Amino acid sequence: MSARTEPPQWLHPDSEDLLGASAALGEHIDSALGAFVPIDGLPGPGALTCVVVAGMGGSAVAGEVLQAFAGPRSTVPVVLVNDYSLPRHVGPGTLMFAVSFSGDTEETLRTTAAALQTGAHIVAVTSGGALAGMVGDGGGSVILIRPGVSQPRCAVGATAVPLLLVCEQLGLVPDVRAQLQAAVAQLARRRAELESGGGLAAEIARRIGRTIPVFHAAAGLPAVAARRWKTQLNENAKAPAYFGVQPEVCHNEVCGFGQHGDVTRQVLTHVNLRTRTEDPRIALRFELYAEAIEEAVAGVIDVDAAGDGELARFFDLVTLGDFVSLHLAAREGIDPGPVPTLTELKQQLASRA
């Protein structure tokens, strides 16, 4: 059996190996699956009143995935906390996931400290830091992100999988493990095309070019993917991007193309992220929206997810978006890894603490 050849390094510069980290999403999911151990001492379904996920930035995506996947399945609500405030309903019947890649995210540390005071059951997902110590010392559970994941925006698989598996353990969502295994299989099929520097991601990046993309998807996991495409372009390509959710955009945003067409058709590209499993009325809205704006944008691109199951299609869209952002960075000679603006902002916040 011949050794696996290294993929061509078409991304230059790439000081933090985001090419390798993005290609390894399937491996991250598979590793998190293999490492998961059921957690003792959590409230049973009858005693559980809500699930809360606290996280910011790349770590918050795990909560968005859980909320979107559990929404139509779970008997208790999943609430996201993306700031410093803890909902008043958090208490002994609450399962709270505190997600922070570094373990030092100030918003997550504050809400976790408050939650510990209420008697909530806390599960931290982190690589360490102050969060691991706080939750461990407070009687909660800590799931450590396994080595090999370089930074928060590359950790969507490593952070989302434990949340999904804990909720499967509690009987809140079914068939999680099978769906994640299907996602691993789909990402393995997609990987060679993406690593080569060609394929669908390269074509999408070529069509976007130097325009500003607006990503649309149906509510639920596809919308989480659309927001992910936006933030990956922001961080990796250092470029503006926006997103919207169907059917809501048909009630407002579509009106925004009534003027300035001479400008918008030069600077905006519309990208639909599709699963082809949408409600027929939402599928129709995608078509009608595109017809309404096609004269006012540089182009309309449809991207179809592949994979067997909701999570497989979601992670397929995630990895496609990650590689589109890397191609856009490569086109401009931008190193996708460093985010100096975020570093400076955190330094300024720390200096004014």
Within 13 Å, how many C-alpha atoms sit on residue 341's CB side? 7
How far is residue 76 from each of residues 41, 111, 168, measured CA to CA in Å?
18, 20, 13
Strand partners, 246: 218
Q: Which of 219, 211, 212, 296 is nearest to 251 (CA)?
A: 219
Query: Do residues 329 and 13 touch, judged by C-beta distance below 8 A?
Result: no
Catalytic residue among 106, 193, 203, 346: 346
Phi and psi dihedrals of 243, rounded to 5? -145, 160
How far is residue 124 from each of residues 109, 159, 274, measured CA to CA in Å?
10, 10, 33
Catalytic residue among 64, 107, 235, 278: 235
Strand, coil or helix: what is 24?
coil
- What stretch of H or E contains 312? helix 310-332
Residue 278 annotated among the catalytic residues of the structure: no
- As a whole number of angstroms, the distance between CA 176 and CA 164 comes to 7
Tell me how far apart the terminal alpha carbons of the chain are, to the nearest angstrom: 57
Residue 346 annotated among the catalytic residues of the structure: yes
Q: What is the DSSP letter of 95?
A: E
SS3 content of the chain, % helix, strand, coil (to 5): 50, 15, 35
Amino acid, res. 12: H
Phi and psi dihedrals of 104, rounded to 5? -125, 20
| Paired sense of beta strands 121-126 and 141-144, if any | parallel
Enumerate the active-site residues.
235, 251, 346
